[in-house]
Every structure is written in structure tokens, then in C-alpha cells.
Amino acid sequence: MTVLIIAYLGGVLTILSPCILPILPFVFARTEGPFARSTLPMLAGMAASFALVATLAAVGGSWAVRANEYGRLAAVMLLAAFGVSLLSPRVAYLLAQPAVDLGNRLATSAGSARSAPAIASSLVLGAATGLLWAPCAGPILGLVLTGAALQGANLETTFLLFAYAAGAATPLAVALIVGGKVFAVMKRSLGVGERIRQCVGAAVLASLAAIALGLDTGVLTQVSYASTASFEQEVLERFHERPAAGAPSKVARNNAMQLEADSKRPFRSGLPSEGRAPALNGAVEWLNSAPLTNEQLRGKVVLVNFWTYSCINCIRTIPYVRAWAEKYKDKGLVVVGVHTPEFAFEKRIDNVRQALGGFNIGYPVAIDNDYRIWRAFENSYWPAHYLIDAKGEIRYHQFGEGNYPQTEKAIQDLLREAGSETAASAPVVPDAKGAEVGPDMSNIGSGETYLGYRRAANFASPEGLQADATYHYSFAKPNLNGWGLSGTWTIGAQQATLTQPGGGIAYRFRARDLHLVLGPGAAGKPIRFRVTIDGKDPGNDRGSDIDASGNGTVTATKLYQLVRQSADVTVRNFEIRFLDRGVEAFAFTFG
């Protein structure tokens, strides 16, 4: 139930997002009719079709991608006809006549079905709107879609997506009720009903043009990136089933009383108990250590770090986790990394082992390829930190990047509570390099972008995305946050694979850093590439994995830092060309 509430509130917050703008004309065009027969069915149809299509897109195969493309085309045609009908009474009469005839027949046979055609038409228009709606993927929607991709198609996924869509429909319904009354007053007092109708029709056609040009998933997405993310993160923190520090549960209060009665240890932390820590059972293998059990760790303070090695957010937390492991290893802290994969290549243990060497990670790492530890902790985040006290209770958590001083203070408190002579000290200042350096949040205007068709968005090549097919693509000038391919590629569910040398990827972005997850493919041979920025050598704007001329080599499947803007952050055109065939490209991330 809590997750449904979170999804619903995430939908409500979309009213603050610019990505809602393209569908507003479609919705406001129904304000003239009664709410129950016009507006409500349209919003219900929008929510239902969005939930169904988003479920299929998250877990379906190439057939789902093609079905969605055809559905969007049909929706554009239907809504275009609707927009023209608002501009022209003659067209409206011709389009409405079949529905009127059907209504007359139904009324004759049933006597009470005069509203059926109106309700049906509103449902159809709502379903078409749901096919075109592309909400900005903030933390809450990203969490729901990631869960769908990991767990497969099920009723829970559909209910969560429907709850999200219902949340978006709620403020729209309120706005429509108010807007309908305003329009009614304007028509009565000013006599401009037909002019309002024509303006709405023009707005509908303008929105369709914006959607066809990709502005709904390009410009508006980057404008919205920072507008609701902080609100959504606050919702996640407040409603997550684990209580926040400072809001102790009944169990926490009981434990506090027990700790107060315990006079053996002078220091008592105010961190609440969040329940018993699950067992670290289910790992397919352990690296840097023999398997660890809760019994072996009893009496120690344990930091459990959920991560995956190509996740940029995880990579940026590694310097801190590494520094804590070193600083407090003799004070009673044990750091346990739980590597839970997002992509299939992250399940290969040799890849993880190589990543541990690259990141200089020496603490134990459990390979959680079957998600057994992930599910035992009821975790939903990369990265996520859980602090377990000496008695085996979870006392603190941190989801995502940030709050490093607070996390270190919690480590110090639990070590002192366990009897260590750890004194409060200044937070660590880790030696972070390359992709490990923290993001420049004030200048990020681009978000994570997947190249596999299962979660691809903003694809700008004129040929369109061809799922599970080898196809020759060409570049088109993309909008901001749009990307495209050139050359011969096969786009799979998780990655795009280059089948002939000379192909490339282009992306128009705004951020200090640009990263791209790349791999050498099944052959495993090094793949040479060259990066240009605005058509020129990167120079001082090169990332840590290329030289000043833009040259680099894909030697392993991992995240490559390709751009770090050295001066003012501006919108740039990134292009990478591969001199050899076989490269696999998975996802862009930014910092």
C-alpha cells in the first residue's frame, strides 16, 4: 500500500513538470461537457492506456515497441482529426454524425443510453492521449519502471503505473472543473464560445506538432530535470517503510528504553532501530572474502553497500565507502558490498572482479546475481547504504548519493555505542578521480538515457528505432537530450550493437560530464573510437578515458568518461565514431 501511495504522489507532482504541457490542450478540450460523461472518462482512459503501454514497454520485447509506435501514430491521427473538428464546425458535424446515429439506435433499444456515445468518445480520446503522454522520468517513475524491468510483467507493476497515472489525473481533474466553470462564464458574458473552441483546436494541433518533433521528450524533459526531482526524493524518504532518523518506531522506543537501562556502555546513540538485519544469504559468490554470515558479524558495525559497477551514482559513492572502510577497519567497522546487477553483462563475475581492481576495492563483495539479498532488504536503490549495529539491528540508511557527513557521523556513533574508543572526527575527504568525482548538480540538464529499446527515449535518427533488427541509420540534428545512430546497428532490449565499422552515436547534451557504458561485445577484442565535441577535438574538455584528440579504446564492458567540460558548462554536440565493429553501447549518464 505504501508503494502505491508513493506512485500516486509521484503522479500528482507531474502537474509541476513541463512534460505535462503537451497533453493539456487534449484534456481541456473536453471541459464543455458534463464532468462525469466527458472529463472523467477521458482521464480514466488516459490513465488506463498509459499504465498498459508503460507496462509493456518496461518488460516487453520488440513487438511491444512496434505496437507502441503504431498506437502513437493512430493516436496522432485521431487527435489531429479532433483538433480540426474544433476549428471547423462542418468537420465536427461530419465526424460526430456516426456517433449520433449510434446513440439514436442505442436510445431506441435501451431507452437510457443517450450518454453512451459521449462517454465512449471521451474514453477513446483519453486512451489516445495516454499513448502520447511522455512524463518526465523523475525518481518515483524511474523506480517503478526499474522494478518492472527487473521483476517482469505482473499486476503489481500495472497497479503502480495506474496509481502514477491516477495521481497525474487528479490535479488535472481539479483544474478542469475550475476551468470548465471559467469557460462557461466567458461564453455567457462575452459570447466567445466559438472563438474559445477554435483556440483550443489550434492548441491541440500545436501540441501534436510538438510531440511529432520530439519536444515533449527533448526540451521539456531537460527543463523538468531539476523541477520535481527534489520533491519526489522527499516523498520517497518520507513514505519509505524504513523510518527516518529522528522518527523512532515503537520498536525503536522499546530499544531506547532497553539501552537506557543498560549501564554497561556509557554512550547511547539516538539512531532508531529499523528492524533486524536480514541474513546475507543467497550470493552466488563472494569476492575479497569467504562468505560472511550475520553470526560472524555480530559485535561489529556493518555497512552494507548495494551497488553495481557501471552505475555512475554508485561509482561516485565508492571513494567515500573505500575511505570509511580504511579509516574505521581497526575500530570495528566491516564494509560489505552487495553487487546487484542492472545489465546482463554485470552478472559476469570476471567483469565484477576486474571492476574491483579498477576501483581499488578491497572489502568483501557479495555477488547478488539472483537478487536474493536485494529482496531480503526490500531494497529499491542503486546505491543504497544500510548501517547495522553490533546487535544486528538496522539503525541507519541512505538512498542514493549524498549525505556523506551524516553517514559517517552515524558510523562513528554506532562504533562508540559498540564500545569502540572512536572519537568524533572530521569527515573523510576522499581522493576521487575521473568518473568518481561528484556531479555538478547546478549544471545538469540531461538525464540517464538508455540505448536498448526496452527503455530507450528521445531517439532522433530519421529511420526510427528498429527493434531486434540489423538496420542502417543516419544522423539527424537532434534536439537537446536527443540522440541518434549512424551506420549499421542492431538495437536489442538492453544495448545497441554495431555490426559494421565506422558507425557512430551522437547526443546533444548539457552537463559538465558525459559518460557512456560501452563493451567490446562477444568477441572481446579492443575497439578503437574517436570522440568529437561540436565537431572538434575535445582538447581540455576530454574525459578521463580519452586523450586530447578524442582517441580511446573499449577494452572492457564498463562506464567510460568521455567529456568533462573545463570551462563554463554549455549545450554541446557529442559524437563518437567506432573504427572497429562489435561495440555494445548501453546507456549515457551525466555529472
Q: What is the pLDDT of residues 518-556, one digit of tens each?
A: 999 988 999 999 999 999 999 999 999 999 999 999 999
pLDDT greater than 60 at residue 160? yes
Locate 47 and state its grid cell: 490513465
DSSP string, 19-54: GGGGGHHHHHTTTTS-IIIIIHHHHHHHHHHHHHHH
The class that CATH gives domain 259-436 is alpha beta
Q: Do 588 and 449 form a contact (C-beta atoms < 8 A)? A: yes
The segment(s) of the chain belonging to CATH 2.60.120.260 are: 441-590
pLDDT greater than 70 at residue 166? yes
Among residues 403, 11, 373, 415, the alpha carbon closest in space to that of 244 is found at 403
Assigned superfamily of 441-590: Galactose-binding domain-like (2.60.120.260)
pLDDT in tens, 338-394: 999 999 999 999 999 999 999 999 999 999 999 999 999 999 999 999 999 999 999
Among residues 429, 393, 383, the alpha carbon closest in space to that of 414 is found at 393
Q: How far is CA 180 from the centre of its chain?
A: 34
pLDDT in tens, 267-289: 778 899 999 999 999 999 999 99
Locate 53 and state its grid cell: 503501454
Q: What are phi and psi of 494, to 5 degrees?
A: -110, -20
Alpha carbons 279 and 292: distance in angstroms, whole number: 9
CA dihedral 301, 304, 305, 306 (to 10 degrees): -170
Alpha carbons 330 and 279: distance in angstroms, whole number: 24
What confidence tier does 104 reach under pLDDT thresholds 50, 70, 90?
A: very low
Q: 355 or 244: which carries more pLDDT confidence?
A: 355
**Whole-number pLDDT of residue 49:** 74
- Residue partners of 166: CB distance under 8 A and separation at least 6: 8, 11, 47
**Whole-number pLDDT of residue 589:** 96
Q: What are phi and psi of 80, to 5 degrees?
A: -65, -45
Q: What is the CA radius of gyration of the chain?
A: 27
Locate 200 and state its grid cell: 483550443
Mean pLDDT value across residues 106-113: 39
Alpha carbons 408 and 391: distance in angstroms, whole number: 19
**Whole-number pLDDT of residue 170:** 82
**Whole-number pLDDT of residue 492:** 96
pLDDT greater than 90 at residue 191? no
Q: Which of 188-202, 236-250, 442-456 has the lowest mean pLDDT?
A: 236-250
Q: Which of 205-214, 343-352, 399-408, 450-459 has the lowest mean pLDDT?
A: 205-214
Neighbouring-strand partners of residue 488? 472
- Mean residue pLDDT of the chain comes to 79
Among residues 339, 342, 372, 373, the alpha carbon closest in space to that of 353 is found at 339
Q: 369 or 106: which carries more pLDDT confidence?
A: 369
Q: 154 or 282: which carries more pLDDT confidence?
A: 282
Among residues 442, 338, 447, 437, the alpha carbon closest in space to that of 383 is found at 338
**Whole-number pLDDT of residue 38:** 75
Q: Do 507 and 461 form a contact (C-beta atoms < 8 A)? A: no
Q: 62 or 498: which carries more pLDDT confidence?
A: 498
Among residues 589, 577, 590, 586, the alpha carbon closest in space to that of 501 is found at 577
- Residue partners of 177: CB distance under 8 A and separation at least 6: 35, 39
The segment(s) of the chain belonging to CATH 3.40.30.10 are: 259-436
